Structure 1
Amino acid sequence: MTIDELVRRTLHDWSDEAQIPTDLASKALGKRRRVRGRTFAVVAGATAAVVAGALTVPALLQGAGGGDTRPAIAVLTDPSPSTETVGDLESTPPKTLVAAGGTALYSYYVWDEERIPNGRQVLRRTWYRYDKGRQTYERTPWAWLDVAQGGQSVAVMETVPARRVGVITTPGDEVRWIDLERPAGAVSWSPDATKLLVTNYGGNPDESYPLVNNSREMLPTTRTGYTVVDMDSGQTAFHPLEPDENNRFGGRLDFAWSTDGTLVWEHNSTPPGTKKFYDLDGNPRQGPPGAADTYETAGVSPDGRWIAARSPDKNAAMGLKDVRTGEVISVKPIEGQWVEQLVAWADDDHVITWACESKGFNSCVGSEFRNRLLLVDVNGGEAVPLTGYRENSQRPGSWVPVFTRR
Structure 2
Amino acid sequence: MSDLVELLSTLVGFPSLCGTPNGAIIDWIEARLLAAGARVQRIPGEVPDRFSLFAIIGPEAPGGIILSAHADVVPVAGQDWSSDPFILTRRGDRLYGRGSSDMKGFLACMLDAVQRVVTHPIPLSRPLYLAISHDEELGCLGVRSLLQALSEGPDRAIQGCIVGEPTQMQVALAHKGKTAFTIACHGVAAHSANPGQGLNAITLAGSMIRAVSELQEKIKTSERPDGRFAMPFSTVQIGLVTGGTALNIVPDHCVLSAEMRLLPGYEPGPYLDWLRDAGARAVADLGGGRVEIEVTNAYPGLDMEPGGVLCATVLREAGRNHTTTIDFGTEAGLFREILSLDCVVCGPGSIDRAHKADEYITEAELEEGARFVDAIVARLR
**TM more than 0.5:** no
Report which of the two structures shows the higher radius of gyration computed on alpha carbons: 2
More strand by share: 1
The normalised TM-score by structure 2 is: 0.27
The structure with the largest helix share of the pair is 2
